[in-house]
């Protein structure tokens, strides 16, 4: 078991290196550069700026420089656009906010989704099934940038129960509610549907029939025997779900003005701020890789066929 | 089947139906048989003849949205199982009546250890503590012939081979000393050599644990090897009953005759074509109330297509459902 | 078994039971037909596709999507009143409000004259459309107008062409690339498979929508056609991943089947086996997955447009219409409501259809044994 975990953990590093490389060259692919958007400066000054940021060197050299700085000094470099601080500073300030929002949203989605899914499966074809599942279909059909503003309109503007925007520092914990709901809705819907169909399928298996044939009560059959197998697809889904939550946060953070990391994606890409963009990308990829790793380990805890060879 | 004192199970006119979009499937259409203590009864027939559904009905394990036990009685220890409450039937399952299934690969929970799966039945029905139940589980594994049971009891199902898994299932089935062990095609998924081992094991254990066995199979060789009495089933009905010896040596129903004739014999002329009964088993949806075998029967007459022949008692033991043995 | 033909209905056997032909896909189709929600979904989807296709034909009876009439800015939806009526009402309301603010109960001379002039303009102003001269203010706007006075209904229909088009392109690309790569990897195994799995793992390590966002941001241009092409490329780049994974999984489990062994034993080539034997058996799951991922493509485009990276005016897609409408949501709710409803209903229908297809191809769902 531990061998499996260690093996999996170690495989993260080469993947990370490949991801950094891909991102580095990807980001440079676009036409134009970070300083083209400034007012046209005399060529001498432009050249000096380029020298300062080593942009006069051949690309592979810049790549080497970047990777060594990153790996040995954890230095993401200076932001090309926002010249007050370097990239680590901006990431450091915004990452915790995005992380908090993402974790809360995902936890909400998992706990509510699994709970609702199980109830729907057990009460199949009754109202307790139709109602949640209809809400779930709505959840996967309506995009988060419709849900967000609608929520904001009713809860904040019309009925004034919640503040329109802002974050915990100034607004208090109430500010998390709408962004969290907006971000988590589609995942809640998906997980509810997934849990339901997965549990229904497991309940049809032979080994559940065996459990019933042994005289075990309904509750024991469901919670001791069926649940583990039923949760496997949900656990598998959590890996890609992390990725989608990151994407979703781009919209949600912008609508509710959450000071998170997601805004840097669009902005830095438009600004050609290579280092900031790269930094954000790498951080998110690392988080994804760790998340996938945790998911794989969790999966192997549930399914002994994976780790016990 | 004449010694009423020894009777532990009486199935009377059992009917189990399934509702499908195309109509009602009468999977078990009036099945009756008796089981005595320590008897090994074989239920034989082709796929989809209703033998498995009969057993599942006895255990009340039929999924009830599409399925329904529409009629009949199953008398066990003086009570009708079909009328019992949920709690009562759960007290029976795994305890007084056990069932083991065909595919040991899928019939064991892959996510739980063998010790858990064995102990839970013992703790539930015999009230033992966890450590006592664990000890007993190891004992049961030894009884069914699993080497190093103390170590293997903590393994997961996928760490056992197919034959071993079936032994584990048998251990689970016998762990609470049931009066009846229902074995649904226990050897079908196994190699021939393992089959023989498992059957020998079952024969030994039956005596050791004083259980009666209902053995469901489509393999006549298995029946000949281990069953005292046999019921031949076709299209949801029992067409012939008797001791295995009698039914094998002197089959009465045309279907049974056809079955026995289909077994290839090693003393047959190599140039002869292998015999098989012509035709296919019928579609059970909205099957009319005539003899279900008549399209494939060489001896059919007019009444066979119109009315179902009831069960005829030929002598003390033999019963047949065929118009050849009745006046019409 | 002997069969007897009845007069005009199906053949029956000795038990008077109908004999039905059975093929996997026919079976699935029969099951699908019984699922009312799925069939409902199918009709809705077909309806949308019909309207979107017909709208390409010149002469289709709706207004054009890009005609700007500033006078008609932000008119609410109306079944009966013409643009002129609404304009008049709006101006009248505004003037009354001004008058009240100034302490007057009724309108003064100047204001009454303004209304009279407006009335004259409404009755006489004309414009050219499709080579004909029509009275501008006789137009009706079923779904209202946007901030440039463009007809919402026309823009929604146009948007449906773009959005559904993206769904189709995404799905077809996913199928083409995904099936090809997935089948080769799954069937060949070995090193080809190994590299593909590594590649997909890496892609899963990148939040690939982010890559799409970055791609669109980097290649953003002002040329609308270019933007649509970029959009198609960006979505196609990432759309085939999951399809490849699924197809690969199916191939791995099917390639050891006995019918494949049989085909190999009579000398069938690898391509022949893949195309004629394994692929048809994968078709079910491919169709189900495609139907369920169609909505994802539409949502992805909507998402990009919302960020300003996708379609923008004068072109329209459901996503761009919605993102434009969010700002004025409280004052002009119809600008958000109708495009959002149009998109949601379509996605709803698609999801029900996809669910139905999945249930139809997997007979072990719900109450079946």
Q: Are residues C105 and C250 in the same domain?
A: no
Q: C341 — contact with chain A (CB < 8 Å)? A: no
Contact C323 A239 (CB under 8 A): no
pLDDT at B151: 93
Q: Give me A30's structure tokens.
A: 């676009």
From CA C213, how far away is CA C301, in angstroms rounded? 10
C134/C219 same-domain check: no
Say yes or no for a CB contact (<8 Å) between A225 and B61: no
A284 contacts chain C (CB < 8 A): yes
Indicate whether C59 belongs to any domain. Answer: no
* CA C358 – CA C362 distance, rounded (Å): 6
Contact C204 A292 (CB under 8 A): yes
Same domain as C221, residue C361 = yes
pLDDT for the residue C365:
41
The contacts found for B254-261 with CB under 8 angstroms, 24 or more apart, are B254/B293, B254/B297, B254/B298, B254/B299, B254/B322, B254/B324, B255/B293, B255/B296, B255/B297, B256/B232, B258/B296, B259/B44, B259/B220, B259/B232, B260/B220
Q: Which CATH number does the domain housing residue B275 bear?
A: 3.40.50.300
For residue C317, being part of any structural domain is answered with yes
Q: Is residue B249 part of a domain?
A: yes
For residues B237 and B166, membership in a common domain is answered with no
Calculate mean pLDDT across residues A245-269.
85
For chain B, give the percent of residues with pLDDT over 70: 98
Q: What is the pLDDT of residues B40-84, one digit of tens each?
A: 999 998 887 888 899 999 999 998 888 899 999 999 998 999 999
Residues C194 and C310 in one domain: yes
Number of domains in chain A: 1
Q: Is residue B113 within 8 Å of B154, Cβ to Cβ?
A: yes
More confident site: B234 or C76: B234
ipTM above 0.90, yes or no: no
pLDDT digits (tens, 9 = 90+) for B261-302: 888 777 777 777 778 888 888 888 888 888 888 888 888 888
A195, part of any domain: yes
- Asked whether residue B37 falls in the same domain as residue B160, the answer is no
Q: Do B67 and B187 fall into the same domain?
A: yes
User: Which stretches of chain C drop beneath a pLDDT of 70?
Assistant: 1-10, 20-21, 130, 208, 362-369
Kindly state whether residues B171 and B185 are assigned to the same domain: no
Domain that holds residue C165: 156-365
Task: Examine the pLDDT at A49 and tell me if it is beyond 80.
Answer: no
pLDDT band, very low/low/confident/very high, at B16 (cuts 50, 70, 90): very high
For residue A118, being part of any structural domain is answered with yes
A5 interface with C at CB cutoff 8 Å? no
Mind telling me how many Å the CA of A226 is from chain B's nearest CA?
Answer: 9
Q: What is the mean pLDDT of the segment spanning B115-138?
A: 93
* A307 in contact with B, Cβ within 8 Å: no
| Chain C interface includes A246 (CB < 8 A) | yes
Residues C237 and C95 in one domain: no
Q: Report the pLDDT value the prediction gives residue A73, as an integer from 0 to 100.
A: 74
Which class for A172: exposed (0-12), middle (13-18), buried (19 or more C-beta within 10 A)? Answer: exposed
Least confident of A158-167, A187-196, B131-140, C162-171: A158-167
Residue C245 lies in a domain: yes
Are C266 and C347 within one domain?
yes
Together in a domain, B161 and B228 = no
Q: Which residues of B touch A224 (CB under 8 A)?
A: 112, 120
Question: Domain total for chain C?
Answer: 2
Q: For testing the chain B interface, which of C1, C4, C11, C14 should be mutated: the one with the most B CBs within 10 Å?
A: C14
Section A92-98 average pLDDT: 88
CA distance C212 to chain B (A): 40
Choose the closest CB to B285 out of C17, C368, C369: C17
**C48 within domain boundaries:** no
Segments forming the whole domain that contains residue B124:
105-175
Are the beta carbons of A266 and C326 separated by less than 8 Å? no
Q: How far is C13 from chain A (nearest CA, A)?
A: 33
Q: What is the pTM of this model?
A: 0.83
C369/B18 CB distance under 8 A:
yes
Structure tokens at B59: 């255990």
The answer to whether B98 faces chain A, any CB pair under 8 Å, is yes
Asked if residue C285 belongs to a domain, the reply is yes
**Are residues B119 and B151 both part of a single domain?**
yes
Q: Is residue B1 part of a domain?
A: no
pLDDT-based confidence at B89, cuts 50/70/90?
very high
**Weakest-pLDDT range from A246-255, B232-241, C116-125:** C116-125
Same domain? C193 vs C234: yes
Spatial distance between the Cα atoms of A253 and A248, rounded to a whole number of angstroms: 9
Triad B47, B51, B56: Cα angle to 5°: 120
Same domain, C214 and C90: no
What's the pLDDT score for residue C9? 58
Count of structural domains, chain B = 2
Task: Give me the CATH number covering residue A147.
Answer: 1.10.3720.10
pLDDT of residue A104 exceeding 70, the answer is yes
Nearest chain B residue to C14, by CA: B295
Instruction: Assess whether B167 and B184 both reside in one domain.
Output: no
Q: Positive or negative, the Cα torsion across C173, C357, A203, B162?
A: negative
Please tell me whether residues C222 and C351 are part of one structural domain: yes
B2 inside domain: no
In this model, does residue B101 exceed pLDDT 80?
A: yes
- Domain presence at residue C19: no
Three-state secondary structure string covering chain B:
CCCHHHEEEEEEEEEEEEEECCEEEEEEEEEEEEEECCCEEEEECCCCCCHHHHHHHHCCCCCCCCEEEEEEEEEECCEEHHHCCHHHHHHHECCCEEEECCCHHHHCCCCCCHHHHHHHHHHHHHCCCHHHHHHHHHHHHHHCCCCCHHHHCCCCHHHCCHHHHHHHHHHHHHCCCCCEEEEECCCCCCCHHHHHHHHHHHHHHHHHHCCEEEEEECCHHHHHHHCCEEEEEECCEEEEEEEHHHHHHCCCCHHHHHHHHHCCCCCCCCCCCCCCCCCCCCCCECCCCCCCCHHHCCCCCHHHHCCCCCCEECCCCCEECCHHHCCC
Query: Which chain C residue lies closest to B285 (C-alpha atoms)?
Result: C17
Using a CB-CB cut-off of 8 Å, the residues of chain B touching C12 are none
Is A171 among the domain residues? yes
Asked if residue B256 is part of any domain, the answer here is yes
Strand partners, B232: B44, B240
Boundaries of domain holding A175: 104-260
What's the pLDDT tens digit per position in A126-150?
Answer: 888 889 988 898 888 888 888 888 8
Q: Give the residue from A23, A125, A145 with the most C CB atoms within 10 Å of its CB, the best one to mutate.
A: A145
Do residues B36 and B6 make contact, with C-beta atoms less than 8 angstroms apart?
yes
- What pLDDT was estimated at residue B98? 94
> Where is pLDDT greater, at C27 or B155?
B155
| Residue predicted with more confidence, A17 or B82 | B82
pLDDT reading at B131 higher than 90:
yes
Using a CB–CB cutoff of 8 Å, tell me whether B61 touches chain A: yes
Q: Are residues C181 and C231 in the same domain?
A: yes
Q: Which of A214, A224, A305 sits opposite B121 (nearest CB)?
A: A214
Residues B141 and B271 in one domain: no
pLDDT digits (tens, 9 = 90+) for B170-200: 999 999 999 999 999 988 888 888 888 888 8
């Amino acid at each position: 078991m531990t061998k499996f975990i260690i093996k999996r953990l170690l495989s993260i590093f080469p993947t990370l290196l490949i991801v950094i490389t891909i991102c580095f060259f990807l980001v440079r692919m676009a036409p134009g550069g970070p300083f083209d958007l400034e007012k046209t400066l005399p060529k001498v000054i432009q050249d000096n700026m380029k020298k300062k940021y080593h942009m006069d060197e051949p690309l592979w050299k810049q790549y080497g420089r970047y990777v060594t700085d990153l790996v040995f000094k954890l230095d993401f470099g200076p932001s090309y656009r926002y010249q007050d601080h370097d990239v680590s500073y901006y990431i450091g300030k915004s990452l915790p906010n995005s992380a908090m929002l993402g974790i809360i949203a995902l936890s909400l989605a998992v706990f509510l989704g699994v709970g609702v899914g199980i109830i729907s499966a057990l009460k199949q074809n009754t109202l307790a099934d139709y109602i949640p599942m209809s809400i779930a279909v709505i959840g996967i059909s309506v995009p988060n940038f419709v849900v967000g503003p609608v929520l904001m309109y009713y809860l904040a503007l019309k009925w004034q129960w919640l503040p329109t925007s802002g974050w915990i520092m100034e607004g208090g914990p109430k500010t998390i509610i709408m962004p969290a709901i907006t971000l988590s809705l589609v995942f809640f819907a998906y997980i509810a549907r997934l849990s339901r169909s997965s549990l229904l399928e497991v309940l049809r298996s032979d080994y559940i029939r065996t459990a019933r044939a042994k005289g075990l009560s309904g509750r024991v059959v469901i919670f001791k025997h069926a649940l583990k197998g039923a949760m496997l697809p949900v656990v598998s889904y959590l890996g890609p779900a992390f990725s989608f939550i990151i994407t979703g946060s781009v919209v949600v953070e912008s609508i509710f003005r959450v000071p998170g990391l997601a805004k840097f994606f669009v902005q830095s890409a438009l600004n050609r701020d290579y280092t900031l963009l790269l930094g954000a990308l790498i951080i998110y990829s690392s988080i994804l890789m760790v998340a996938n790793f945790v998911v794989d380990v969790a999966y192997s805890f549930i399914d002994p066929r994976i780790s016990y060879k | 089947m004449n010694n009423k004192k020894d009777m532990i199970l009486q199935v009377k006119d059992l009917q189990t139906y399934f509702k499908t979009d195309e109509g009602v499937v009468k999977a078990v259409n009036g099945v009756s048989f008796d089981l005595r203590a320590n008897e090994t009864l074989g239920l034989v027939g082709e796929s989809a003849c209703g033998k498995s559904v009969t057993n599942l009905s006895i255990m009340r394990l039929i999924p009830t949205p599409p399925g329904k036990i529409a009629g009949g009685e199953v008398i066990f220890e003086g009570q009708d199982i079909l009328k019992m409450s949920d709690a009562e039937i759960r007290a029976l399952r795994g305890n007084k009546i056990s069932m083991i299934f065909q595919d040991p690969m899928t019939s064991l929970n892959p996510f739980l250890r063998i010790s858990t799966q064995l102990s839970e039945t013992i703790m539930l029905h015999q009230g033992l503590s966890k450590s006592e139940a664990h000890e007993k589980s190891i004992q049961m594994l030894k009884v069914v012939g699993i080497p190093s049971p103390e170590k293997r009891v903590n393994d997961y199902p996928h760490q056992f081979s197919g034959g071993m898994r079936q032994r584990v299932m048998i251990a689970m089935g016998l762990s609470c000393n049931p009066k009846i062990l229902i074995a649904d095609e226990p050897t079908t998924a196994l190699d021939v050599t393992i089959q023989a081992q498992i059957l020998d094991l079952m024969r030994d254990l039956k005596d050791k644990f004083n259980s009666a066995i209902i053995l469901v199979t489509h393999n006549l060789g298995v029946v000949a090897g281990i069953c005292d009495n046999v019921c031949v089933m076709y299209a949801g009905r029992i067409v012939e009953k008797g001791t295995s010896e009698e039914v094998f040596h002197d089959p009465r129903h045309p279907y049974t005759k056809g079955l026995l004739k289909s077994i290839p014999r090693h003393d047959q002329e190599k140039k002869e074509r292998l015999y098989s009964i012509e035709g296919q088993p019928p579609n059970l949806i909205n099957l009319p109330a005539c003899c279900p075998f008549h399209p494939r029967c060489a001896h059919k007459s007019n009444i066979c297509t119109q009315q179902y022949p009831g069960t005829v008692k030929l002598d003390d033991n033999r019963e047949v459902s065929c118009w050849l043995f009745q006046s019409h | 078994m002997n069969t007897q033909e009845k007069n005009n209905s199906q053949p029956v056997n000795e038990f008077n039971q109908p004999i039905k032909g059975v093929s996997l896909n026919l079976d699935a189709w029969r099951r699908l037909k019984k699922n009312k929600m799925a069939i409902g979904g199918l009709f809705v989807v077909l309806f949308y596709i019909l309207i979107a296709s017909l709208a390409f034909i010149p002469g289709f009876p709706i207004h054009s999507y890009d005609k700007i009439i500033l006078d008609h800015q932000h008119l609410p939806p109306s079944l009966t009143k013409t643009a002129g009526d609404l304009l008049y009402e709006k101006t009248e309301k505004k003037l009354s409000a001004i008058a009240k603010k100034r302490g007057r109960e009724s309108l003064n001379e100047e204001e009454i004259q303004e209304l009279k002039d407006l009335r004259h303009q409404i009755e006489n102003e004309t414009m050219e459309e499709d080579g004909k001269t029509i009275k501008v203010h006789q137009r009706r706007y079923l779904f209202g107008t946007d901030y440039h006075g463009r007809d919402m209904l026309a823009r929604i229909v146009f948007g449906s062409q773009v959005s559904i088009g993206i769904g189709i392109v995404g799905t077809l690309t996913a199928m083409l690339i995904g099936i090809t790569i997935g089948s080769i990897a799954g069937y060949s195994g070995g090193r080809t498979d190994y590299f593909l799995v590594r590649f997909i793992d890496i892609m899963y390590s990148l939040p690939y929508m982010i890559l799409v966002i970055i791609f669109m941001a980097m290649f953003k241009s002002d040329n609308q056609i270019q933007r649509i092409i970029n959009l198609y490329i960006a979505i196609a780049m990432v759309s085939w991943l999951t399809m490849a994974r699924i197809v690969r999984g199916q191939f791995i489990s099917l390639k050891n089947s006995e019918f494949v062994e049989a085909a190999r034993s009579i000398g069938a080539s690898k391509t022949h086996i893949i195309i004629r034997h394994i692929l048809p058996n994968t078709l079910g799951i491919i169709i189900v997955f495609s139907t369920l991922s169609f909505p994802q493509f539409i949502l992805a485009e909507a998402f990009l447009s919302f960020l300003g990276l996708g379609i923008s005016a004068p072109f329209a897609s459901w996503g761009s219409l919605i993102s434009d409408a969010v700002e004025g949501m409280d004052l002009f709710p119809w600008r958000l409501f109708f495009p959002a409803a149009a998109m949601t209903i379509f996605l709803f229908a698609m999801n029900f259809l996809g669910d139905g297809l999945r249930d139809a191809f997997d007979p072990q769902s719900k109450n079946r044994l």
